[in-house]
Amino acid sequence: MTDQSPGGAPEPTATGVDDHEPLLALRDVTLRFGGVTALDGVSLEIAPGELHAVIGPNGAGKTSIFNCINGVYRPQVGSITFDGHELIGQRPARIARLGVARTFQNLGLFVALSVVDNLMLGRHHLMRTGFVSGALWWGRARREEIEHREAVERIVELLELEAHRHRPAGLLPYGLQKRLELGRALAMEPKLLLLDEPVAGMNLEETEDMARYLMQVRRELDLAMLLVEHEMHLVMDLADRVTALDFGRRLASGTPAEVQADEQVIQAYLGGAA
Partner 1 sequence: MRDLRSLLRGRRDGPAAGLHRSHRDAVRLWGTPWARFGLVLLVAGWALVPQFVTDDFWLSVLNYAGIAAVAALGLNLLTGYTGQISLGHAVFLGVGAYAAAQIGEGGDIPIVVWLPAAALIGGLVGAIIGPFALRLRGNYLVIVTLGLVFIAEHVFRNLKDITGGNTGTPVSASPSIGSFDVTDLSFAGQSYSREQGWFWLIWAIVALTALMTKNIVRTRPGRAIQAIRDRDLAAEVVGIEIGRHKIWVFAISSAFAAAAGALYGSYQEYVSPDEWNLFLSIQYIAIIIVGGVGTVFGTILGALFIGALPSVIEEYSDSIPGVAAKAGDSGISVYSLNQAIFGVLIVAFLLLEPRGLAAIWLRVKTYFRTWPFRY
Partner 2 sequence: MSARRPSDPTGGVAPDALPDDAHLEEEVEARAPSLPARLLELAATTPDAVALRQKHRGVWHETTWRGYAERTARIARGLADLGVGPGDRVAVHAENRIEWVLADLAIQGLGAMTVGVYPTCPPAEVEYLLSHSRATVLVAEDEEQVDKALEVRDGLPALRTIVVVDPRNVDLSDASLVTWQALEERGAAGTVDDLADRVAALDPESPATIVYTSGTTGPPKGALLSHRNLRAAGDAFAQAFPAGPRDEILSYLPLCHVAERVVSLIAALESAYVVNFGEGGEAFAQDLREVQPTFFVGVPRVWEKMHATVDVRMGDSSRLKRLVHRRLTAAGVRTARARMQGRVGPGDRVRSAVGELLLYRALRDRLGLRRVRMAASGAAPIAPQILEAFWAIGVPVREVYGQTENTAVGTAMPDGDVRIGTVGTSYPDSELRIADDGEILTRGPGTFLGYLDDEDATRATVDEDGWLHTGDVGTVDDDGFVRITDRKKDIIITAGGKNVSPSEIENRLKVSPYVREAIVVGDRRKYLVALIGIEQDTVGDWATRTGLAYTTYADLSRKPEVRELVDGVVAAANADLAQVETIKRFALLEKELDHEDGELTATQKVRRAAIEREFAATIESLYAGEGAS
> Cα(233)–Cα(126) distance, rounded to whole angstroms?
35
Q: Which of 153, 206, 231, 258 binds partner 2 (CB under 8 A)?
A: 153
Contacts of 44 (CB under 8 A, 6+ apart): 24, 25, 26, 52, 54, 65, 243, 250, 253
- The verdict on 93 binding partner 1 (CB under 8 A) reads yes
Taking CB within 5 to 8 Å according to partner kind, which of partner 2, partner 1, none is near residue 9? none
Backbone angles phi, psi at 34, to 5 degrees: 55, -120
Instruction: Strand 224-228: give its sheet, edge to edge.
Output: 100-103, 192-196, 224-228, 51-55, 241-246, 249-254
Q: Which of 57, 59, 78, 108 binds partner 1 (CB under 8 A)?
A: 108
CB nearer to partner 1: pick between 166 and 219:
166
- The verdict on 63 binding partner 1 (CB under 8 A) reads no
CB nearer to partner 2: pick between 19 and 153:
153
CB nearer to partner 1: pick between 17 and 200:
200
> Cα(214)–Cα(183) distance, rounded to whole angstroms?
11
Q: Which of 11, 28, 86, 157 binds partner 2 (CB under 8 A)?
A: 157
Helices marked H in 14-139: 62-69, 92-98, 115-122, 131-136
Q: Which of 13, 129, 243, 260 binds partner 1 (CB under 8 A)?
A: 129
Binding site for partner 2 (CB under 8 A): 149-150, 153-154, 156-157, 160, 162-163, 165, 216, 219-220
Binding site for partner 1 (CB under 8 A): 70, 72, 91-93, 96-97, 101-102, 104, 108-113, 117, 120-122, 124-125, 127-131, 134-137, 141-142, 144-146, 149-150, 184, 188
